[in-house]
Amino acid sequence: MIKVAKPARGSVRVTFALPVEEPAGAVSVVGDFNGWDPYAHPLRKRGNGVRSAVVTVPAGATLRFRYLAEGGVWFDDEAAGVFDGQGATITVPG
């Protein structure tokens, strides 16, 4: 699941969230917004039963990203809507 907040002061908060149990183990969201660094945005368990990470990006930005799970397993977020074989793409409001 991807949640995009309303733009504020030229930036937008984007929340990437997955269920706690799928996939098992540690997961990070990795993309052009963090230099494809798998350690920059690990998903953390929340009290509501999901794991999530929040990134702040410029309003109107287009983001390319994938998730990286334990064992080097890459996967996409079905909620993104646009896929090019190398990840998902979303454009946040400007």
Asked whether residue 94 carries a pLDDT value surpassing 90, the answer given is: no
Please, are residues 23 and 58 in contact by the beta-carbon 8 Å criterion?
no
pLDDT in tens, 64-93: 999 999 999 999 998 887 888 778 999 999
**What confidence tier does 28 reach under pLDDT thresholds 50, 70, 90?**
very high
> Cα torsion at 48, 49, 55, 61 (round to 10°)?
-100
Q: Structural domains in the chain?
A: 2-91 (2.60.40.10)
Mind spelling out the 3-state secondary structure of 24-42? CCCEEEEEHHHCCCCCCCE
**Mean pLDDT over residues 52-73, rounded?**
96
- The pLDDT of residue 86: 77
Q: How far apart are CA 73 and CA 66, in angstroms?
A: 10
pTM over 0.85: yes
Asked whether residue 5 carries a pLDDT value surpassing 90, the answer given is: yes
* 23: preceding bond cis by omega (within 30 degrees): yes
